[in-house]
Amino acid sequence: MKGLWRQPFGHGDPHEAYAPPLDPSCWAGWRDSRRVPDDVGYGAVAAYAGPPEMPPGNGMKVLVLGAGIAGMVLGWELGRAGYDCTILEARTRPGGRNWSLRAGDLVEETDSVQRVRWETGEHLYFNPGPARLPWHHDGILSYCRLLGVKLEMMCNENRGAWLQDDAAFGGERQRNRAVVHDTRGYVTELAAKAVDKGLLDHPPSMEDAERMRSFLRFYGALDRDLVYRGAARLDDEEDAANRPKPLDFAQIIRSDFWQGRMMFGEFPNQAPTMLQPVGGMARIGEAFGRKLWGVITYGAAVTQIRRTESGARVTWKDAQGAEHAAEAPIVVCTIPFPALRGVETDFAPATRAAITGLEYIPAAKVAFLAERRFWECDEGIYGGVSWTSRDITQVWYPSAGLQARKGILVAAYIWSSKLGEAFAAKPLDKRLEDALEDLECLHPGQRTALRKGISVSWKKIPYNGGAWAEWTRSARQESYPTLRTGDGPVLFAGEHISDMPGWQEGAVRSAHYAMLRIAERAQARKT
Amino acid sequence: MKGLWRQPFGHGDPHEAYAPPLDPSCWAGWRDSRRVPDDVGYGAVAAYAGPPEMPPGNGMKVLVLGAGIAGMVLGWELGRAGYDCTILEARTRPGGRNWSLRAGDLVEETDSVQRVRWETGEHLYFNPGPARLPWHHDGILSYCRLLGVKLEMMCNENRGAWLQDDAAFGGERQRNRAVVHDTRGYVTELAAKAVDKGLLDHPPSMEDAERMRSFLRFYGALDRDLVYRGAARLDDEEDAANRPKPLDFAQIIRSDFWQGRMMFGEFPNQAPTMLQPVGGMARIGEAFGRKLWGVITYGAAVTQIRRTESGARVTWKDAQGAEHAAEAPIVVCTIPFPALRGVETDFAPATRAAITGLEYIPAAKVAFLAERRFWECDEGIYGGVSWTSRDITQVWYPSAGLQARKGILVAAYIWSSKLGEAFAAKPLDKRLEDALEDLECLHPGQRTALRKGISVSWKKIPYNGGAWAEWTRSARQESYPTLRTGDGPVLFAGEHISDMPGWQEGAVRSAHYAMLRIAERAQARKT
């Protein structure tokens, strides 16, 4: 059993520094910037170790606030170890940001309500929150295995998808593969020049210069003269006429394509293999919820957390507004900080400052029911992500229901603070209209196929108030240790209290970290 | 309806020349070498035009030999247009090389019989033939849509898979991502040197040299000095200790990794998105077979093809050995040439020479039932392909049944002539034993999980005699036009009579081409 959990390979140290590119604004909000060492990283550190071995709980009470991934991992693991665990959840469903919208579902923001009016269909879902499971996120993948959540392949980067930048190529969309292959060709041509001029010093001596040239020629699809003339290899001069014209290198450099967009699929958390649960990301939360039937109290909105002599006392309101209270020697709070700021607490000043100071990304998504999967029928796009310089930022094509008649198209995925704030402020109709307008640059004339749009602005989702924590380096240095230690009887968990913020894997690992702290306290009580 | 077929984008001209790398032997049998212009191609030409419009058949007889993809496309399209089409198929199942082995199936080679002794399970199948549907193979994908064959994502290149070469890194396996990222880093460092020395002439003038450097730094994950020191970006010197050590560039160059292996996923026919039918590739052939119930005569082994005054006469034997004959003004022969060589014909000398001369690849595969999906549990590999310099060449991990208890591992995929011939000559036990031994270099100690191996050597499969046609450039020039024209009343179709040999897409397009020839003859009869 234990063997299942232990993974003999590491996945990069999320603490490592990130060097911003020339123009930092282009990078603002890039999801992986702070938490993964670099765009092409691999290597050292932090293999998933599985849940810690717990000392027997012997009925020791633990109160968990929030039935998201972190809270439910705690509920599951503590229950298995004999702790008496209760989870208070403000919503009437488990999962938190692990959420899939399907026919009939409600989206409630602070000032609006939307009803999902799509047909029922296993593939007709929309994940407003997380939508990717990278292959090396062993924690969350292990729980999928444990819970029997069926997984399938998800195509993340697709050579057939589009890149579009209003500032380059006259705003014309380009196929990912054209940009990727031409860029590699031009860079390799430059490298060949360096070899030609004897600038090769890394490694200091290359025995086989001929092999080096042969490698570069192959790598960059260069011609006999080690020049890149487009992706076709042309030894036969008579074929020259058929040579596809490569994109202008200067335009590529001028575009924002290279700043992540044309190679986002090489980032450690974005590279293949990417997985997804069959039927929507919420399959994970739903499976946890079934296992924790009776452990989770739904509709329990926490209003107060206060220390007592023997632990902490949590006050909460039920859906009818009636007040309740629960006490436990240990409370694990997974409530996202924007929501926690509205809870009355007697935390220490340093804890309060940390809670107040942590930034959250106001990410947002828009999805439409497509009456026709035009991206497949007309453009040969099956899954993956297109990028545009316009506000919608990304368009996601479903990796499920391929060649079905209808599909759910994610027509916007916004994750920069500025755009997210502006999006949050828009009326619902305007969000949809603007998304459709932006979409024209990627899929001209196709908006007529899109209907029944739904938008989710995490900033305005009650009990969240933001999509995920965005740690600055200074906050990380000052507040993170404080929060990891907890505040007396109260421990913190959730993606924000992890080395992988913004990922469900972070939530899992934060829960395991909290378990270590609980184990210490359980041991201390015994002795 | 018609709109569904027309695709507004092109996919590279398969006629274009291929420039072999330094050592041509490393390249022998590379599947795409002759038929796709280059490893990173995209661009011009040959959008899928859909099936040709046919003049009404008015019951005109067409006899099709072979119920593989080409034959069944013909059967389907001709039937729709009012032709009286009969398909003779030597086997008792439709599909030909479109084939999935499942519990209880038989594999009959010329001198052996194997029974598949695996459990039943939707994901417990093995495709001895084609196993990939690239996103731009619009012909075969269109028929999947038409037939209602459910598709799913297939992971082809996986950054988590292994590359292994006995001649480099002491034979130690390397993760794909390490090789890919380190290679890009080193090449980009060289390019930066060229920029530094003012060797930049493509494009002749780059306005923003600073932006160029910034681009290169980002692209290659270079450090501040534009040096590649491993995939981590390290501006903070204190982090230097955590830097993952990059692979030695000289070793990468010395290895065979770069000759396709580390970038096979960038070849046009190998790049994402890659698709597969749910439940096995044979779902396509099976669906065609159901549609063509009554059109296909099974167990009909063709022995003779001879001209008559009004067309051709085909003699065939049924399973009991009884002889039958059929006549038609047009016969379309899709029988693979190694098998056709055993049929008595009165073809013209040029046709016979073309049939005799065409080479076929003796490709082979081995698959095992894995009692435990160790590649997922222990190594985080979900789908994709590992490569080794040893004879098994490739190991394929299933893209279906993720995290299930058991799975089918393709432990060898051999497609070079030399290795394929040697494999064909081995006894069944030896094939499996050798594959397991080779597998040790990729998955040490895991062979104990593998059982009930099945091997398929296409050279020894009756009615095939080889996996796919391998056109030399001279054969292409001399014989291809002859074969495309046909031999009097006999037309030829199949992957070998196409611009995309070795792919089901080629079979579809060859069938459409044959339809054009049939249409001409139908018109000629009318006037």
Confidence check: pLDDT of B276 > 50: yes
Pairing of strands B151-154, B330-333: unpaired
User: Is B384 within 8 Å of A214 when comparing Cβ atoms?
Assistant: no
Residues of A whose CB is below 8 A from B202? 186, 189-190, 227-228, 249
Q: Which amino acid is residue B153, in one-letter code?
A: M
CB contacts < 8 A, A to B, total 338
Q: What is the pLDDT of residue A33?
A: 26
**Phi, psi for A321 (deg, rounded to 5):** 90, 0
Q: Which amino acid is residue A182, in one-letter code?
A: D
Q: What is the pLDDT of residue B243?
A: 58
Confidence check: pLDDT of A374 > 90: yes
Q: Collapsing DSSP states into helix, strand and coil, what is residue B11?
A: coil
A437, A442, A448, A449: CA torsion to nearest 10: -130
User: Is B263 within 8 Å of A224 when comparing Cβ atoms?
Assistant: no
**Mean pLDDT in residue range A513-520:** 97
Burial class (CB in 10 A: 0-12, 13-18, 19+), B47: middle
Q: Which helix (H) or strand (E) holds A359?
A: strand A359-361
Pairing of strands B151-154, B274-277: antiparallel
Q: Collapsing DSSP states into helix, strand and coil, what is residue A443?
A: coil
Q: Which of A407, A520, A515 is nearest to A71 (CA)?
A: A515
pTM to 2 decimal places: 0.90
**Mean pLDDT in residue range B303-314:** 97
Q: Are A161 and A386 within 8 A, CB to CB?
A: yes
**Mean pLDDT in residue range A248-254:** 91
Distance from CA of B11 to the nearest CA of A (A): 10
Q: Are B105 and B125 within 8 A, CB to CB?
A: no
Instruction: Out of A151-155, A204-208, A412-416, B89-93, pick the least confident.
Output: A204-208
Q: What is the pLDDT of residue B332?
A: 98
Residues of B whose CB is below 8 A from A200? 190
Confidence check: pLDDT of A245 > 90: no
**Mean pLDDT in residue range B211-227:** 90
Report the C-alpha gap between B390 and B439 in whole angstroms.
9
Query: DSSP string spanning A463-476?
Result: TTSSSEEE--HHHH
Q: Using one digit for the tens of pLDDT, what is the confidence trace for A7-16?
A: 222 222 222 2
Confidence check: pLDDT of B55 > 50: yes
Residue of chain A minimizing CA distance to B149: A403
Which of B175, B224, B258 faces A218 most closely, judged by CB atoms?
A: B258
User: Is B191 within 8 Å of A187 when comparing Cβ atoms?
Assistant: yes
User: Is B185 within 8 Å of A40 when comparing Cβ atoms?
Assistant: yes
Q: Collapsing DSSP states into helix, strand and coil, what is residue A378?
A: coil
Contacts of B372 by beta carbon, 8 Å cutoff, 6+ apart = B405, B406, B449
Residue holding tokens 């130690």?
B172
Query: DSSP string spanning A66-79?
Result: --BHHHHHHHHHHH
Burial class (CB in 10 A: 0-12, 13-18, 19+), A476: middle
Q: Are B358 and B501 within 8 A, CB to CB?
A: no
Q: Collapsing DSSP states into helix, strand and coil, what is residue A312?
A: strand
**Mean pLDDT in residue range B109-124:** 97
At B267, is the pLDDT very low, low, confident or very high (cuts 50, 70, 90)? Answer: confident
ipTM of the complex: 0.89
Q: What is the pLDDT of residue B9?
A: 25
Alpha helices (runs of H) in A41-172, residue ranges in sequence order: 69-80, 138-147
What are the angstrom distances between the C-alpha of B402 and each of A136, A144, A154?
14, 10, 12
Say what percent of chain A tops pLDDT 90.
76
**Mean pLDDT in residue range B63-75:** 98
User: Is A38 within 8 Å of B12 when comparing Cβ atoms?
Assistant: no
Which of A7, A188, A268 faces B187 most closely, judged by CB atoms?
A: A188
Q: What is the pLDDT of residue B241?
A: 53
Please provide the average confidence, as pLDDT, over all residues in chain A: 88
Contacts of A349 by beta carbon, 8 Å cutoff, 6+ apart = none
Residue holding tokens 């290899």?
A233
| DSSP code, position A242 | G
Distance from CA of A294 to the nearest CA of B (A): 28
Q: What is the 3-state secondary structure (H, E, C) of A157-202?
A: CCCCCEEECCCCHHHCCEEHHHHHHHHHHHHHHHHHHHHHCCCCCC
Distance from CA of A259 to the nearest CA of B (A): 7
Residue of chain B minimizing CA distance to A246: B43
Residue of chain B minimizing CA distance to A223: B19
What are the angstrom distances between the C-alpha of A8 and each of A3, A52, A499, B378, B380?
10, 17, 19, 7, 9
User: Is A191 within 8 Å of B194 when comparing Cβ atoms?
Assistant: yes
Confidence check: pLDDT of B23 > 70: no
How far is Cα of residue B171 from the mean position of the Cα atoms in its chain?
A: 28
Residue from B239, B284, B403, B446 whose CB has the most chain A CBs within 10 Å, to mutate: B403
Residue of chain A minimizing CA distance to B182: A40
**Mean pLDDT in residue range B383-397:** 98
| The pair of three-digit structure tokens given for residue A361, joined into one six-digit string | 């990304």
Distance from CA of A233 to the nearest CA of B (A): 6
**Mean pLDDT in residue range A49-63:** 94
How far is Cα of residue A327 from the mean position of the Cα atoms in its chain?
A: 34
Instruction: Out of A120-134, A193-207, A304-318, B391-405, pick the least confident.
Output: A193-207
Q: Using one digit for the tens of pLDDT, what is the confidence trace for A186-234?
A: 999 999 999 988 877 655 455 678 889 899 999 998 988 999 988 754 3
